[in-house]
Amino acid sequence: MQKLYLKTAGGNDRINIDVYKPQADGALSNKKRYPAVVVVCGGGGKDACTGSPLIGKYVARYHDLGEALSRAGFWAFIPSRRGDPQQTSEMYANLAPQFRSRLPKVLFQDDGPNEGLHSHRNQVAELIWLVENIPSIFGPDVDVRHVGFIGKSAGGGVALAAAAELGKRVASVALWGSALRTSQWFGGPKADSFFEEVLNKRGTRYNRETFLRDMCDAIDFVNQVESPTLFACAVADPYAPKPPEPDKWSSLNEQIELMRYAIRCRYAKVVGVKGAEHTMFAEHPAWEAYVSTLIGWFAETLLHNREVDEDSEKQSPIVGTALPSAERHAIGLQS
């Protein structure tokens, strides 16, 4: 994986982006251009400081997903958000042993702080900027016609809001454990618990009044998205040798409700992964079921019946602000 540190939408704020290139021996190794999946972080972001006794599981969940997508032949882009803590070597030193022994040190070498403040609307703007500028940043190796989103937890509403604005430039959407306003985590009696547990303890910089005003709830945007959409979440397995932790943030019923409101989407699917948890990482017993659900979805919706002659097909034009050639050289992804 590689790190980028780039100015994002709406000014001079810079954020860090983790980039996972498609591996040469992946399922799509014969292609000249590769589809891309943008992973939209949930409420706690790529937190590396909490989760005791498994400190590091929240950052591992994104890294492990990026690696899995890479091995399957996809580009994976995992942007931090404005206001997220900067990943540093001190965080690496405090990881639980099982994560410190396998997570790459480069994962904790952000080039600088994630400037500005986090809000859902800011995150939407960051995603739109990234998708619009994929050709300028990454060059011709990314197939911009086949870009998908994975929205994790509260990132589900953000992913749907961005997909609604981007329209056909997002070819597929997958949600994992989307939390809805009806669960009262954001603005109801349980909101204090959400802000303290998810944002404050993890050091995310935000303004509560602005956050509530700019909140993107999945139920408000799902009816605007035409892309094929997967609604997935963890389902309890009480008979497992070690029953998983119940998912207090989301439920299968909420995913069904979301699918019912997806009135413009002509292909949607609800999947419950038995034995999974809200936070999934490679050591989890249900990891393979979880990650195969997501990768299988994108293999179906980004690739199925879309084989083209890569030599004769031209990339679709994307409107965006091209990065100066010196900056492209600096990030080391294209000459």
Give me the DSSP letters along 41-58: --TT-S--S-STTSTTHH
Encoding tokens for residue 81?
């958000």
Helix (H) or strand (E) holding 39: strand 34-40
CATH number at residue 245: 3.40.50.1820
Least confident of 96-100, 148-152, 179-183, 244-248: 179-183
Encoding tokens for residue 104?
């790459």
Helix axes 155-166, 120-132, angle to 10 degrees: 50
Q: How many residues does the chain have?
A: 335
pLDDT bin (cut points 50, 70, 90) of residue 326 is very low
Strand ranges of the sheet holding 142-152, from the earlier edge strand across to the other edge:
2-7, 14-20, 75-79, 34-40, 142-152, 172-176, 229-235, 268-274
Q: What is the pLDDT of residue 241?
A: 86
Q: What is the mean pLDDT of residues 259-270?
A: 96
Q: What is the pLDDT of residue 9?
A: 83
Q: What is the pLDDT of residue 60?
A: 97
Closest CA to 28 of 312, 295, 335, 333: 295
Q: What is the pLDDT of residue 76?
A: 98
- The answer to whether the CB of 230 falls within 8 A of the CB of 297 is yes
Count of domains observed in the chain: 1
Q: Does the structure show a pLDDT above 90 at 317?
A: no
Q: List, for residues 29-75, the tens digit of each pLDDT value.
A: 556 789 999 999 998 999 999 999 999 999 999 999 999 999 999 99
Q: Does the structure show a pLDDT above 70 at 335?
A: no
Q: What is the pLDDT of residue 29?
A: 55
pLDDT bin (cut points 50, 70, 90) of residue 7 is very high
**Residues 6 or more apart whose Cβ sits within 8 Å of residue 253:** none
Instruction: Give residue 324's domain range.
Output: 2-331
Helix (H, G, I), strand (E, B) or coil at 126: helix
Q: What is the mean pLDDT of residues 295-313?
A: 68
Q: Does the structure show a pLDDT above 80 at 11?
A: no
Mean per-residue pLDDT of the chain: 88
Q: What is the pLDDT of residue 182?
A: 62
Q: List, for residues 84-124, the tens digit of each pLDDT value.
A: 999 999 999 999 999 999 999 999 999 999 999 999 999 99
What is the spatial distance between Cα 133 and Cα 47, in angstroms, rounded to a whole number?
26
What is the spatial distance between Cα 201 and Cα 69, in angstroms, rounded to a whole number?
29
**Residues 6 or more apart whose Cβ sits within 8 Å of residue 321:** 132, 133, 136
Percent of the chain beyond pLDDT 70? 85
What is the spatial distance between Cα 301 and Cα 317, in angstroms, rounded to a whole number?
21
Cβ neighbours of 125 (radius 10 Å): 19
Q: What is the pLDDT of residue 170?
A: 98
